[in-house]
């Protein structure tokens, strides 16, 4: 269950790694910054934001990453190329972490990517994303290849078959174009459509890893924040203030426990509950893999080593 016969690819984006056999490497956490409703954003029109607040959130993210061993990439959200340029300048002057540009519309996303290329930052960029909904996937791949993009997310989905089989057939089609991009990294987002569909994504992740060996994961935050908007905020008397934190942490943890190499975890404010929950889940995956194979990962940056060193010694017969 926790070891694939297919060789599992491990990619390096900037200074972080993603992929591999379950429990082998720590999962990649990708929180959002400057998304809609982010208190850091003061005025998109005037390109102003609270630099101190944003910088403090990035610093805390780095601390949590170091504490748990789980790598992080920040997905910055913007509506226009000019707005994203402003965020990129701030970000690269604040941290050495890689970054993703999270922009739904193709034209501003390409504009922002051109700016990344002009600054020679392609090694640190995770292009988010080449989706099944792109108006012309081959043309987009050709454009970003010409700009020197090395690391991409692809989002797969089949609206006619929303089961794992549809996600996989969608990836089959997408790979025909993506392989022409000569990208160093391709990670697969299996499309969370609502919170319960996160389970379908988990099974889809397994199929992706079985067939292609590519890192697979999901934007599990899409499901949790849909629930927050539709249910939690309108029923606080019933659910209470802490209900969403528990639901959010549990959903991300389950995504990683069930064949998820990475998650898009939502706004940065959630990092303090997401990181410990996901770290605990991944530690359990590492030990389940040990129970199944007799082998513990040699990567000492994984949560099981970072947070449970005494238990690791017991497993290794050193205690």
**Quick one: pLDDT at residue 239?**
87
Higher pLDDT, 10 or 44: 10
Per residue in 63-119, pLDDT (tens digit) is 999 999 999 999 999 999 999 999 999 999 999 999 999 998 999 999 999 999 999
Of the pLDDT bands very low, low, confident and very high (cuts 50, 70, 90), residue 2 is: confident
pLDDT, mean of residues 303-318: 94
pLDDT, mean of residues 271-276: 98
Residue closest to 68 by CA, chosen among 125, 28, 98: 28
- 300 with 286: CB under 8 angstroms? no
Per-chain mean pLDDT for the chain: 95
pLDDT, mean of residues 196-216: 97
Of the pLDDT bands very low, low, confident and very high (cuts 50, 70, 90), residue 58 is: very high
- 50 with 40: CB under 8 angstroms? yes
CA geometry: angle 283, 286, 280, nearest 5 deg: 10
SS3 state of residue 48: strand
pLDDT, mean of residues 301-311: 96
Per residue in 146-158, pLDDT (tens digit) is 999 999 999 999 9
Q: Provide the percentage of residues in the chain whose pLDDT is more than 70.
A: 99
Percent of the chain that is helix, strand, coil (3-state, to 5): 50, 15, 35
Angstrom CA distances, 218 to 103, 105, 128, 166, 266, stand at 17, 20, 12, 15, 11
E-strand ranges in the chain read 10-13, 16-19, 28-33, 41-43, 48-49, 74-77, 99-102, 125-131, 151-155, 185-189, 216-218, 262-267
DSSP designation for 124:
G
pLDDT, mean of residues 19-40: 96
pTM above 0.75, yes or no: yes
Pick the CATH number of 10-315 from 3.20.20.20, 3.50.50.60, 3.90.1150.10, 3.30.70.330: 3.20.20.20
Asked if pLDDT for residue 20 goes beyond 90, the answer is yes
**Quick one: pLDDT at residue 87?**
97
Burial 243-277 (b: 16+ CB within 10 A, else e): bbeebbbebbbbbbbbbbbbbbbbbbebbebbbbb
Of the pLDDT bands very low, low, confident and very high (cuts 50, 70, 90), residue 33 is: very high
Tokens for 289? 């893999």
Tokens for 88? 């990129």
């Amino acid at each position: 269950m926790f070891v694939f016969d297919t060789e599992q690819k491990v990619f390096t984006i900037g200074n972080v790694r993603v992929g591999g056999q379950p429990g082998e490497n720590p999962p990649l956490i990708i929180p959002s910054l400057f998304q809609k409703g982010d208190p850091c954003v003061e005025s998109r029109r005037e390109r102003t934001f609270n630099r101190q607040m944003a910088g403090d959130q990035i610093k805390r993210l780095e601390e949590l990453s170091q504490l748990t061993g789980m790598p992080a990439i920040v997905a910055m959200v913007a509506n226009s190329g000019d707005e994203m340029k402003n965020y990129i300048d701030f970000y690269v002057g604040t941290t050495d972490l890689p970054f993703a540009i999270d922009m739904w519309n193709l034209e501003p996303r390409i504009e922002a990517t051109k700016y990344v290329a002009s600054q020679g930052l392609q090694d640190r960029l995770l292009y988010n994303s080449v989706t099944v909904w792109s108006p012309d996937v081959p043309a987009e791949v050709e454009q970003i290849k010409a700009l020197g993009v090395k690391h991409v997310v692809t989002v797969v989905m089949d609206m006619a078959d929303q089961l794992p089989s549809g996600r996989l057939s969608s990836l089959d089609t997408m790979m025909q174009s993506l392989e022409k991009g000569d990208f160093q990294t391709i990670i697969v987002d299996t499309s969370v459509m609502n919170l319960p569909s996160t389970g379908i994504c988990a099974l889809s992740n397994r199929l992706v890893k079985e067939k292609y060996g590519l890192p697979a994961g999901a934007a599990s935050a899409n499901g949790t924040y849909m629930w927050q908007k539709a249910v939690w905020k309108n029923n606080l008397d019933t659910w209470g203030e802490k209900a969403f934190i528990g639901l959010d942490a549990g959903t991300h943890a389950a995504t990683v426990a069930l064949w998820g190499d990475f998650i898009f975890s939502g706004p940065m404010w959630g990092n303090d509950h997401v990181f410990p929950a996901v770290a605990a889940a991944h530690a359990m995956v590492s030990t389940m893999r040990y129970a199944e194979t007799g082998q513990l990962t040699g990567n000492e940056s994984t949560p099981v080593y970072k947070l449970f060193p005494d238990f690791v010694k017991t497993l290794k017969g050193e205690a």
